[in-house]
Amino acid sequence: MYGLAAGAGNRQVMKSMDRLKGKVAIIVGATSGIGEAMTNLFAQEGAKVVFTGRREELGKKIEADVRARGGEATFRRVDANSEAELEALADFTAEKYGKIDILCNNAGILISNEFTQIDLEKDFDATIATNLRSQFAMCKHTIPYMIRNGGGSIVNTASIGAFFAMPFQVSYAASKAGVKQMTRSLAIAYADKNIRVNCICPGLTHSGMEKSGDAFDNAVLPLVPVKRAAQPIEMAYGALYLASDEASYTTGHDLIMTGGLGLQ
């Protein structure tokens, strides 16, 4: 058995089944929460993973932990708001491994504020840049490599906020709705190139962005039918399915993982 990293917010550890054996994956925004769980899980399942974040010390620790357990992961310090750095990330990965099979876009921020108090630059622009523009740019620079490779799988991180109103997180909801529609548009645009494009839509997840006991957690948790928040590893397993060949007939899909939130 291949154990996942402590601190990745895992509820369970499952035996590796080599579901991504031979695949090369890029995971953007992966030094905590869902992205960190994706990195550990994808490496566990046999992928060669290049993952990013801005916290270099933490990234290097995750890399060392994965390698100590026999996986392959390489950390790259990347600012997700820099198109040049994202382009360099795609180039680095393709040069290192000769191909890119999987892209997971996971960089994100969440800023809560009453709508009339929103600072357009510090709140709206920053949220759109990190949550939507970074995913757009990374897809732009990765898809050409996937075309050369004969196909690939892109998994974007959207949110339940793409479907339901979030009155104190308007910028976040707008950015995630953009991710959802971008995902669907790319799925149609590149279906004939054997490139699948899907997104995961997490609900309340204790990933670092949303923490146990904070105001948002206290407001939303009573509305979740399963009566608990998700752990990052649960979202990572959803991304694993969409990234793997098991989802070979799935594209343009919004995988909603909310513990039943929104059903009532």
pLDDT in tens, 160-217: 999 988 888 999 999 999 999 999 999 999 999 999 999 999 999 987 665 555 666 7
Q: Enter the tokens of residue 52.
A: 């990013």
Listed range (9-23, 197-211, 217-231, 237-251) with the worst mean pLDDT: 9-23
The CATH number of 24-257 is: 3.40.50.720
Query: What was the pLDDT predicted at 82?
Result: 98
Query: What was the pLDDT predicted at 17?
Result: 83
pLDDT at 36 over 70: yes
Burial 215-253 (b: 16+ CB within 10 A, else e): ebeeebbeebeeeebbbbbbbbbbbbebbbeebeeebbb
Query: What was the pLDDT predicted at 134?
Result: 98
Query: What was the pLDDT predicted at 221?
Result: 84
3 state SS of 108 = coil
Query: What was the pLDDT predicted at 242?
Result: 98
pLDDT at 9 over 60: no
Query: What was the pLDDT predicted at 10?
Result: 46
Question: What is the secondary structure of 210-255 as a DSSP string?
Answer: B-TTSHHHHHHGGG-TTSSPBPHHHHHHHHHHHHSGGGTT--S-EE
Query: What was the pLDDT predicted at 219?
Result: 75
Reported as type and span, the H/E element at residue 260 is none
| DSSP β-ladder status, 195-202 and 254-257 | parallel
Reported as type and span, the H/E element at residue 145 is helix 134-149
Partnered with residue 76 across adjacent β-strands are 52
Q: What is the pLDDT of residues 101-132, one digit of tens each?
A: 999 999 999 998 899 999 999 999 999 999 99
Mean pLDDT, residues 33-58 taken together: 97
Query: What was the pLDDT predicted at 216?
Result: 65
pLDDT at 13 over 60: no
Query: What was the pLDDT predicted at 12?
Result: 52
pLDDT at 239 over 90: yes
| CA–CA distance, 44 with 14 (Å, rounded to integer) | 10
Q: What is the pLDDT of residues 214-232, one digit of tens each?
A: 666 777 788 888 999 999 9
Q: What is the pLDDT of residues 50-89, one digit of tens each?
A: 999 999 999 999 999 999 999 999 999 999 999 999 999 9
Q: Enter the tokens of residue 159.
A: 């949110």
- Residues 132/159, Cβ–Cβ less than 8 Å: no
Q: Of the listed 2, 97, 145, 172, which one is catalytic? A: 172
User: pTM for this one?
Assistant: 0.91
- Residues 90/76, Cβ–Cβ less than 8 Å: no
| CA–CA distance, 136 with 73 (Å, rounded to integer) | 24
Residue ranges of domains in the chain: 24-257
Among this protein's residues, is 2 annotated catalytic?
no
Mean pLDDT, residues 232-260 taken together: 97
Q: Enter the tokens of residue 131.
A: 């949550």
Residue type, 104: C
- Residues 59/51, Cβ–Cβ less than 8 Å: yes
